[in-house]
Amino acid sequence: MKEHTLVLKSISCTFEELNENEQLLISKAKQATENAYAPYSHFNVGAAVLLDNGEIISGTNQENAAYPSGLCAERVAMFYANSKYPNAAVKAIAIAAFTNGQFIELPISPCGACRQVLLETEIRYNQDIVCYLYGSTEITKVQNIKTLLPFCFNADSLKVK
């Protein structure tokens, strides 16, 4: 038996400590929460994706009474970005959540399904996707999605050995 240790490297900071481009991406994610369709959970999530062509694509969570027919903001933004700009690599994503009249205090993290989709995009373009997880009291910056999903399922998992 062999023991392994995983290390999650991230940076915690405030909004003011980020550069102008990072602030803009987070602001777009926060703005996107206004357009979320979350009549059941009242947990509005917004995501903003920065592409290497300079475009920023936003997405919101879309709930449905027939759970789990809805979609998370991260996947809405990512699928739209990949569909509209199939040749543009994703450089970064910011995620924010708003509930009970305010943004959540601690950073929000993508669910497992969203992490898988983000990782697939990172692999597809062979480029790290920086991930900004917004909380009103702190922001977590992760350098790539693989960090969020260390035991990932990818194309290599489908190969018979």
In which residue are the tokens 């900071």 written? 13
Q: Does the pLDDT value for residue 18 go beyond 70?
A: yes
CATH of the domain at 100: 3.40.140.10
Which pLDDT band, with edges at 50, 70 and 90, does 160 fall under?
Answer: low
Instruction: Note down the domain range covering 39.
Output: 23-63+71-158
Q: How does DSSP assign 42-105, residue by residue?
A: --EEEEEEEETTS-EEEEE-B--SSTT-SB-HHHHHHHHHHHH-TTPPEEEEEEEEEETTEE-S
Instruction: Look at residue 11 and tell me if it is in a domain.
Output: no
Model pLDDT for residues 70-107, shown as the tens digit of each residue: 999 999 999 999 999 999 999 999 999 999 999 999 99
Domain count, the chain: 1
β-bridge pairing 44-51 and 90-99: antiparallel
Question: Mapping DSSP to helix (H, G, I), strand (E, B) and coil, where does residue 131 land?
Answer: strand
- Mean pLDDT over residues 130-157, rounded? 90
- Using CA atoms, how far apart are residues 29 and 86, in angstroms rounded to an integer? 21
Cβ atoms of 61 and 73 within 8 Å: the answer is yes
Q: What is the mean pLDDT of the chain?
A: 94
Instruction: Specify if 33 maps to a domain.
Output: yes
- Say if 2 falls within a structural domain: no
- How confident is the model at residue 157, as a pLDDT? 74
Q: Give the residue numbers annotated as catalytic, written as ranges.
A: 74
User: What type of residue sits at position 12?
Assistant: S
| Measured distance CA(90)–CA(112) in Å, rounded | 19
Alpha-carbon distance 122 to 48, whole Å? 16
95 assigned to some structural domain: yes
Q: What is the mean pLDDT of residues 56-70?
A: 94
